[in-house]
Amino acid sequence: MKLYIMKKFIVYLSVLAVAAFVVTSVGACRKKGDTIAKVTVRDTANILVPGATVILYGESTTDPIQPVDLRDTTTTNTSGIATFNFNDIYQLGQAGVAVMNIAAEKGDLYGEGIIKIEEEEENRVTVFVQP
């Protein structure tokens, strides 16, 4: 009889331990935040440039040089801001996302820059274009 009670106690204890693990695991999950890059384009007079083409692209830092597939293009809105969303690239637990080059142009205006994209943040930079 004592053996039966002891086995039953061990089963209950095991069930409680599993339940506690599940509850703490589910509670520890969190939603991934947005990883956004915003590039503001201005001309040399510090005026916003709407309708500019902005390209973000990566470059290899290894030797020998390896191809980098990370490249995205968009156009600035009426406020002169180009917005890029990197939610598909960033995964929870990853340290950092990328450091990317920027090329911006509109007509005969051209400018370059660089942006460090941090995970789950709105990363901002301004690029100045000139003839």
pTM for the whole structure: 0.72
> Which pairs with CB-CB distance under 8 Å and at least 24 residues apart come from 91-95?
91/32, 92/30, 92/32, 94/119, 95/119
Return the half-sphere exposure (C-beta side, CA atoms, 13 A cut-off) of residue 77. 7
Q: What is the pLDDT of residues 89-110, one digit of tens each?
A: 766 665 666 899 999 999 999 9
Residue whose pair of structure tokens reads 């086995």 in the numeric block: 7
d(CA 47, CA 79): 10
Q: Which residues of the chain have pLDDT under 70?
A: 1-30, 90-97
Mean of all residue pLDDT scores within the chain? 82
* Residue 2 pLDDT: 56
Helix, strand, or coil (residue 6): helix
* Residue 9 pLDDT: 52
* Residue 89 pLDDT: 78
What is the CA 131 to chain-centroid distance, rounded?
Answer: 32
